[in-house]
């Protein structure tokens, strides 16, 4: 199993992993995730933080039955392309849903969940996943 990323690098990505913060171009208004130093639409370097709503719809999905090392605990598990309300598409694990109940266009919301555990180091990594909204 691979080693966890360095603590300093992990904290640099804290906003993306826990709060779904991307970038918004001050020049053309394009929003993107993850945040990039240059706007992919107009090439401007005037990028500010943008808080996504965390709501979206499933565009496509698959069920992972033979996961990579370190993710065996979750198998089988669904991963999906989720189009956020604001436009960007993110690749994410779906949680709190039966794989048989997933469908195209299904509404989902972001939640923070455990992503991986490094038993030898005692480190637990958390990040965003998506689930059907609680009604």
- pLDDT digits over 94-130, tens only? 999 999 999 999 999 999 887 777 766 667 777 889 9
Q: Does 14 map to a domain?
A: yes
How far, in Å, CA of 107 to CA of 118, rounded?
32
Paired tokens of 127: 């990040």
- Percentages helix, strand, coil for the chain, rounded to the nearest 5? 15, 40, 45
- Asked if the structure places residue 120 within a domain, the reply is yes
Q: Which of 27-31, 61-65, 116-120 has the lowest mean pLDDT?
A: 116-120
Tokens of 98: 């039966």
Residue keyed to tokens 């038993």: 119
Does residue 104 lie within any of the structural domains? yes
Asked if residue 57 belongs to a domain, the reply is yes
**Which domain covers residue 37, as residue numbers?**
7-131
21 domain-assigned: yes
Q: Whole-prediction pTM value?
A: 0.80
- Give the pair of three-digit tokens for residue 36: 């990039």
Per-residue pLDDT band for 67 (boundaries 50, 70, 90) equals confident
Tell the residue number behind the tokens 């993710």, with chain if given. 71
Question: Considering its fold, how many domains does the chain have in total?
Answer: 1
DSSP β-ladder status, 107-118 and 55-64: antiparallel
Give the residue carrying structure tokens 């999905």. Answer: 61
pLDDT at residue number 95: 93
Q: Is residue 97 part of a domain?
A: yes
**Is-contact 102 89, C-beta < 8 A?**
no
Q: Is residue 2 part of a domain?
A: no
Distance between CA atoms of residues 90 and 115, nearest Å: 16
CB atoms within 10 A of CB 91: 9
Q: Does any domain span residue 1?
A: no
Residue 69 pLDDT level (bands cut at 50, 70, 90)? confident
């Amino acid at each position: 199993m691979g080693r966890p990323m360095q603590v300093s690098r992990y904290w640099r990505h804290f906003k993306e992993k826990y709060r779904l913060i991307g970038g918004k171009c001050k020049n053309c208004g394009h929003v993107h995730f993850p945040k990039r130093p240059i706007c992919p639409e107009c090439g401007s370097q005037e990028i500010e933080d943008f808080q996504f709503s965390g709501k979206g719809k499933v565009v496509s999905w698959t069920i992972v039955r033979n996961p990579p090392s370190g993710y065996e605990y979750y198998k089988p598990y669904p991963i999906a392309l989720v189009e956020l309300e604001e436009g960007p598409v993110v690749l994410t694990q779906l949680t709190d849903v039966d794989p048989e109940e997933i469908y195209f266009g299904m509404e989902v919301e972001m939640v923070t969940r455990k992503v991986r555990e490094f038993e030898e180091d005692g480190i637990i990594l958390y990040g965003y996943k998506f689930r059907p909204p609680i009604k």
